[in-house]
Chain A
Amino acid sequence: MTPPHPAYQLRHIQHYYGDKKVLDIQDLTIENGSITGLIGPNGSGKSTLLKILAFALRPTRGQIFYNGRPEVPFSQTIRSKVTLLTQKPYLLKRTVFENIVYGLKIRRDDNDLTNRVKKALLNVGLDYNRFAARKWHELSGGEAQRVAMAARLILKPEILLLDEPITSVDTKSAKLIRQASLNARDNWGTTLVIASHDVQWLGSISDRQLAIFNGTIFATGMENIITGPFEKTGKKTIVKALDDGQRIRLKAPAQELGSAIIRKQNITIGLEQHPDKGLDNQLSGHIVSLMLENKSGHIMATVAIHDLTLITRLSPDQISRFNLYPGKSVMLGFHSTDVEWI
């Protein structure tokens, strides 16, 4: 028996806005029924990737396979299966009810609309009697976001793509959106891809996290990005000087300077200077936050080195051995050769 195809396979996808390359993904697979989190700073390419996954944007190069079949943007068959909730959800200048049934109406699916709208609204924590007749301008930001979410959920999509769904909503709305997303996966087997800045919220919902920076995907989740300016101290080494006098030494790239990636697995933590003299980066800082990784049980420690924050992945054993807690002073170490340039 052949294994089922993944929901998405992206091959050699590149996208440009003018001359600027905003996305460069060699190979990305998203399994059916999974929840994938996308983390990355503004302008890193998250929204572009989601639009490509929604088949609402044609990539400049590369191919997308949907359930094993090559697909092109805007095809009628694919549009009815994939839906995207944009960062600033646009509500049509109509009532909440009409907004929610819009997708059904264009599919000519008019069956039992009232009950289906009731369920969709309930799914995002809104009461039908209070909200169905309201107009688009009579909703708060969080309510509008949840109505937009309900308009997607009522379609029972195969793929639900959420772009920063909790950016402008309160904690209650964030919880409801999380629960509605999980329900969609559990009830209909919906595959979700969610972009968010909120690492903690994303960690609580996603099966795996992908980090995206300058259009490049890191399958290992959030990694440490060090941006310039850099000082050249020789042919082989460059330095990033921090305002508190500490210096980060990095092996110079073969080509032009970009941004440096230090994988979190390559960073060690301790309470004092590491005895290994070969460890040419030893930086003092303090722990800002500790966050549990849902599936692995590991703990992500965020450490502030003056105005730079670095993440390292620790075992529960290391946490208890060093008695780590937010605010505690620590030493981070990594080799200057453990750098990748993008």
Chain B
Amino acid sequence: MDFIVAGFIKAIELLISGDISTWTAVWATLKVSTCSMLMSIGAGLPCGFVLGFFEFKGKKHLRTLVDTLLALPTVFVGLAVYAVISRQGPLGELGLLFTLTGIAIGQTILAFPIVTAITASTIENIDYDLKLTLVSLGAGKRHIIATCLWEVRYGILAAAVTAYGRVLTEVGISMMVGGNIKYHTRTVTTAIALETNKGLFADGIALGLVLITIAFIVNLSLSFLRKQ
């Protein structure tokens, strides 16, 4: 028990003293998670809208596939991305292996079904009277789509936050694709895994606290936006 308490105390010291290895991992995590979240929203939002708003053949099967992908194991995504961007892979020449860009690609694949599924559910739950109201007020297709998206903005924000939480806390992709290179591709989660393996609990707890703080700030921002 004592080592946990000592870990907390050292964690605070590490953060306050501006330990460079801790803060480079934090910065790498923020950069790569934000980038993958934005990319997953860019791809997942239109797909989720199409899946939730329109009726088309094969929609149910597509929805089942997207829902299944929610449970995608991070190590499997890591393995698949590794295979594609490694030297022998089809994108090997781009030199993405062991880079933050490589991790971001993997995390985008991980977050894409989350954004798609939550957006689709949010759009499906739009009040039927909203569409009818917009049509009856003279809105064309473009206005209907824009207004519907605006009306469900909190649902879409929730999708973004959920996706952010997932990529922020994953280890498999960062470890396999990033390689956990100190000062370069080491993220908070891979650093926690490494420090714990080395028996350096204080460093691990410090990084854990940072992760929790980031998650807290993201959720706080969401509640602030809702109040606005």
Interface residues of A (CB under 8 A from B): 51, 54, 56, 74, 76, 79-80, 82-86, 88-90, 92-93, 102-103, 106-107, 148, 151-152, 155, 161
Number of residues from B at the complex interface, CB < 8 A: 15
Do the beta carbons of B140 and A106 come within 8 Å of each other?
yes
What are 19 A-B contacts with C-beta separation under 8 Å?
Answer: A51-B132, A54-B136, A74-B135, A76-B140, A79-B140, A83-B137, A86-B129, A86-B136, A90-B127, A90-B129, A90-B130, A90-B132, A93-B151, A102-B137, A106-B138, A106-B139, A106-B143, A148-B133, A152-B137
Q: CB-CB < 8 A to B138: which residues of A?
A: 79-80, 83, 103, 106-107, 155
B126 (CB) vs chain A CBs: closest residue:
A90
Q: CB-CB < 8 A to A107: which residues of B?
A: 138
A90 and B143 contact, Cβ closer than 8 Å, known pairs A107-B138, A155-B138: no
Query: Is B24 an interface residue when CB atoms closer than 8 A count as contact?
Result: no
Do the beta carbons of B147 and A92 come within 8 Å of each other?
yes
Q: CB-CB < 8 A to A155: which residues of B?
A: 137-138
Give A74 to B132 CA distance when docked, in angstroms.
Answer: 11
Do the beta carbons of A92 and B129 come within 8 Å of each other?
no
Do the beta carbons of B135 and A79 come within 8 Å of each other?
yes
Give B88 Cβ to nearest chain A Cβ, in Å. Answer: 52
Give A130 to B195 CA distance when docked, in angstroms.
Answer: 61
A51 (CB) vs chain B CBs: closest residue:
B132
Do the beta carbons of A56 and B143 come within 8 Å of each other?
no
B143 (CB) vs chain A CBs: closest residue:
A106
Partner of A54, one of B135, B139, B140, B143: B135
Give A298 to B130 CA distance when docked, in angstroms.
Answer: 42
Give B129 Cβ to nearest chain A Cβ, in Å. Answer: 4
Give B227 Cβ to nearest chain A Cβ, in Å. Answer: 11
Extra pairs beyond A51-B132, A56-B136, A89-B129 (5, CB < 8 Å): A56-B132, A85-B136, A86-B136, A90-B127, A93-B151
Give B179 Cβ to nearest chain A Cβ, in Å. Answer: 46
Q: CB-CB < 8 A to A84: which residues of B?
A: 132, 136
Partner of A151, one of B130, B137, B139, B150: B137
Interface residues of B (CB under 8 A from A): 127, 129-130, 132-133, 135-140, 143, 147, 150-151
Give A56 to B140 CA distance when docked, in angstroms.
Answer: 12
Q: CB-CB < 8 A to B143: which residues of A?
A: 106
Give A82 to B135 CA distance when docked, in angstroms.
Answer: 10
Give A90 to B139 CA distance when docked, in angstroms.
Answer: 14
Give A165 Cβ to nearest chain B Cβ, in Å. Answer: 13
Q: CB-CB < 8 A to A85: which residues of B?
A: 136
Give A31 Cβ to nearest chain B Cβ, in Å. Answer: 22
Q: CB-CB < 8 A to A80: which residues of B?
A: 138
Q: CB-CB < 8 A to A93: which residues of B?
A: 150-151
A85 (CB) vs chain B CBs: closest residue:
B136
Do the beta carbons of B137 and A90 come within 8 Å of each other?
no
Q: CB-CB < 8 A to B129: which residues of A?
A: 86, 88-90
Q: CB-CB < 8 A to A79: which residues of B?
A: 135, 138-140
Q: CB-CB < 8 A to A56: which residues of B?
A: 132, 135-136
Q: CB-CB < 8 A to B147: which residues of A?
A: 92, 102
In order of increasing CB-CB distance, the 4 nearest A-B pairs are A84-B136, A90-B129, A103-B137, A90-B133
Partner of A106, one of B127, B130, B132, B137: B137
Do the beta carbons of A89 and B139 come within 8 Å of each other?
no
Give B77 Cβ to nearest chain A Cβ, in Å. Answer: 36
B147 (CB) vs chain A CBs: closest residue:
A92
Give A34 Cβ to nearest chain B Cβ, in Å. Answer: 20
Give B152 Cβ to nearest chain A Cβ, in Å. Answer: 9
A56 (CB) vs chain B CBs: closest residue:
B135
Give A192 Cβ to nearest chain B Cβ, in Å. Answer: 14
Give B157 Cβ to nearest chain A Cβ, in Å. Answer: 13
Q: Which of B130, B135, B137 has the most CB of A within 10 A?
A: B137
Do the beta carbons of A86 and B133 come within 8 Å of each other?
yes
Give A44 to B44 CA distance when docked, in angstroms.
Answer: 42
Give A18 Cβ to nearest chain B Cβ, in Å. Answer: 15
A79 (CB) vs chain B CBs: closest residue:
B138
Do the beta carbons of B132 and A86 come within 8 Å of each other?
yes
Partner of A89, one of B133, B135, B140, B150: B133
Give B30 Cβ to nearest chain A Cβ, in Å. Answer: 31
Q: CB-CB < 8 A to B139: which residues of A?
A: 79, 106
Q: CB-CB < 8 A to B150: which residues of A?
A: 93
Give B53 Cβ to nearest chain A Cβ, in Å. Answer: 15
Q: Which of B129, B132, B136 has the most CB of A within 10 A?
A: B136
Q: CB-CB < 8 A to A76: which residues of B?
A: 140
Give A54 to B133 CA distance when docked, in angstroms.
Answer: 11
B130 (CB) vs chain A CBs: closest residue:
A90
Give A148 to B150 CA distance when docked, in angstroms.
Answer: 19
Do the beta carbons of B151 and A92 come within 8 Å of each other?
yes
Give B130 Cβ to nearest chain A Cβ, in Å. Answer: 5
Give B158 Cβ to nearest chain A Cβ, in Å. Answer: 15
Give A82 to B151 CA distance when docked, in angstroms.
Answer: 23
Q: Which of B127, B138, B140 has the most CB of A within 10 A?
A: B138
Give A297 Cβ to nearest chain B Cβ, in Å. Answer: 36
